[in-house]
Chain A
Amino acid sequence: MATATSTTLAPISDSRKLRNHVATFAMYACFVIAMIPLVWIIWTLVAKGAGLLGDPHWWTNSQRGITSRIQGGGAYHAIIGTLLMALVTALIAVPLGVGTAIYLVEYGRGRIARAVSFMVDVLTGVPSIVAALFIYALWIGTFGLHRVGFAVSLALVLLMIPVIVRSTEEMLRLVPRDLREAAFALGVPRWKTIMSIVLPTAFSGIVTGIMLGLARVMGETAPLLILGPYAKAINTNLFSGNMAALPTMINQDRVEALKPAVDRVWSAALTLILLVMVLSLLGRLVSRLGSVKTSR
């Protein structure tokens, strides 16, 4: 250390005190700066978008037959689309993600495990538009299929897997060694130990990871732009026809100038952020309530 020469207890000079105060002030300032956007965004959304959310039609109707000049209408078609695509994404991504995490923690040694871990990191960094282009090249470019909700889900799987792997991995590593060894000592085979000891112990943490992953994929827009065209009417078939989602509902009307359409854009944004925030809050809550007990 460069300044480690003085060992006497000389009084702290004014310039050092001043520098310390300036630094402390700067840290608090950074914190305040970081808080501004979040508060500002939420305030904007509530101020501009809360109006329509109080109307029950918003939650039960679609935008079918509603033009930019007509007030109101609903977001049900987009909410159901977002939920359906996210659900199917989870059905594919969760087994793959949890399986990968179990492999990395319980089985993985050596070069293959390192390669898998590295690829999960790579997947974390893949931009959503690249994931969408990949599925486009596969689904439409190679198989000649159409742009449907299921293709969006496939692209979202790529984005959800790393979130689930990392959070599950973290939870599995928290499960005490003693538990596993106790099971082994009783002659329980490894797969049974994992199924009946390790997974139940880490269960709440895995659920948290799934919820955070869902929150992430629900807000993604790029895959929807490329693979899932917007529709104003309700469509619950993931394999045919255009299907609405909240992000594309926002994107559809964002350049509109007429007030009824602009209002709907902000209301859809508020609905989306509510959905995502509720999921991530629930996720944190689950992890707090049922986290792995490491201390005894």
Chain B
Amino acid sequence: MRGAGLAVVLLVALVGIFLTWKAVPSLLHNKAPFLTSRVWSPDTNPPRFGIAALLWTTVISSIVAMLLAVPVAVGVALFITQYAPKRLATPVAYVVDLLAAVPSIIFGLWGIAVLGPVLAAPNSGLRQGIENSLGWIPLFSSTGVSAGNVFLASIVLAIMILPIVTALSREVFLQVPRANIEAAQALGATKWETIRMAVLPFGRPGVISASMLGLGRALGETIAVTIILSTPNIGAPFDPSLWAGGETFASKIANAAGEFDTPQKTGAYISAGLVLFVVTFAVNAVARVVISRRKEV
């Protein structure tokens, strides 16, 4: 039994070791600054590749997804734990969990074929408004709207992480001590005031770590993002806007999956994967620390 436990530890260590091992030769040959360059031509001699553009698209799409998902998820969790009648709470929680069972390729397919066209029309007015007032920020300016834009990917990612954030928030809201809630009620607080005074402060660390875990999921999501984001043309200038296409770590790797032919080229993609591993590891670790600190109190 201990062997099985240690095997798991070994497995995670091996993931880090193997990715590093296969990435290092390519990184040593790389003639571009890996962290700050936006070029990606791993098959030239010498290779030149950097992750700046990938990191930007990955992080911005995931953060927007988190900002969209967390308020709704907290609302749903409060609905299930505080508002819904007991008989309704279990089925509702179950249906939200079902959303988590939908495979990500189906989210991607639906996002680009159904949701994208539907959102395009009302979105364009909203987008125009944002662009007119905030267009001086590169994030909101546009040089031409792409059908598979980062914002659409963020909406789909938000839907995908909603069940995770909801489930974890629900769990902490259920743990709020009865005494805290009754104390608030005894002071004559309305239901909303009870939630603000007793439930939310108690649940805050849990909600924060739930959001971080959702963020981690969004950062590493592959196929849905690959399907939705339109890949910029080779040599096109980098566009940081939400309305442009782009590539994330995962989609870059997935798009190249069939053409790993030389160790040098493969190493470049593996080094991108290694960065993704490190980033998600860090985000998840922070989430766990926040949760476990609360347990000790």
Seen from chain A, the residues whose Cβ lies within 8 Å of a Cβ on chain B are 1-4, 6-7, 9-10, 12, 16-17, 19-20, 22-24, 26-31, 33-35, 37-38, 40-41, 44-45, 95-100, 102-104, 106-108, 112-113, 115-116, 118-131, 133-134, 136-138, 140-142, 158, 161, 165, 215-216, 218-222, 225-226, 229, 247, 250-251, 254, 265-266, 269, 272-273, 276-277, 280, 284
Contacts and interface: CB of A to CB of B under 8 A. Distances in A.
B61 interface: no
Nearest to B10: A119
Contact of B8 (A125, A138, A165, A251): A165
Interface in B194-234: 195, 197, 213, 216-217, 219-223, 227
Given A225-B257, A254-B109, A247 B2 contact: no
Contacts of A122: 12, 281, 284-285
A23 B191 contact: yes
A128 B220 contact: yes
B260 A136 contact: yes
Contacts of A31: 75-76, 79-80, 84, 92
Contact of A27 (B79, B110, B159): B79
Interface in B231-247: none
B85 interface: no
Contacts, number: 262
Interface of B: 1-9, 11-12, 14-15, 18-19, 21-22, 71-76, 78-80, 82-84, 92, 94-96, 98-99, 101-107, 109-110, 114-115, 159, 162, 166, 184, 187-193, 195, 197, 213, 216-217, 219-223, 227, 249-250, 253-254, 257-258, 260, 263, 266, 269-270, 273, 276-277, 280-281, 283-285, 288
Nearest to B96: A34
Given A222-B223, A229-B258, A269 B253 contact: no
Contact of B106 (A24, A115, A220, A273): A273
Contact of A38 (B102, B166, B249, B285): B102
19 contacts: A24-B191, A33-B72, A38-B99, A41-B102, A41-B110, A125-B213, A125-B216, A126-B220, A130-B15, A130-B276, A131-B15, A136-B260, A165-B8, A218-B103, A221-B105, A222-B254, A250-B105, A265-B109, A266-B109
A263 B99 CA distance: 23
B98 to A, nearest CB: 6
A281 to B, nearest CB: 9
A250 B109 CA distance: 9
A3 B188 CA distance: 11
Given A38-B95, A221-B104, A30 B75 contact: yes
Contacts of B217: 125
A128 B249 CA distance: 12
A173 B21 CA distance: 39
Given A30-B75, A131-B15, A138-B18, 20 more contacts: A2-B197, A12-B188, A20-B192, A27-B76, A27-B78, A30-B78, A31-B75, A38-B95, A102-B4, A116-B8, A125-B220, A126-B15, A134-B14, A134-B15, A136-B260, A141-B18, A220-B104, A221-B105, A222-B254, A251-B223
Contact of A277 (B101, B197, B216, B249): B101
Given A31-B76, A128-B220, A96 B8 contact: yes
B76 A119 contact: no
A97 B11 CA distance: 12
A127 B79 CA distance: 30
Contacts of B270: 133, 136-137, 141
Given A23-B195, A121-B284, A251 B221 contact: no
Given A126-B15, A130-B19, A138-B18, A24 B192 contact: yes
Most B CB atoms within 10 A — which of A38, A123, A140, A218? A38
Contact of B222 (A10, A102, A129): A129
Contact of B273 (A6, A34, A129, A216): A129
Contacts of B254: 129, 222, 225-226
A226 B76 CA distance: 36
A125 B190 contact: no
Contacts of A28: 79, 83
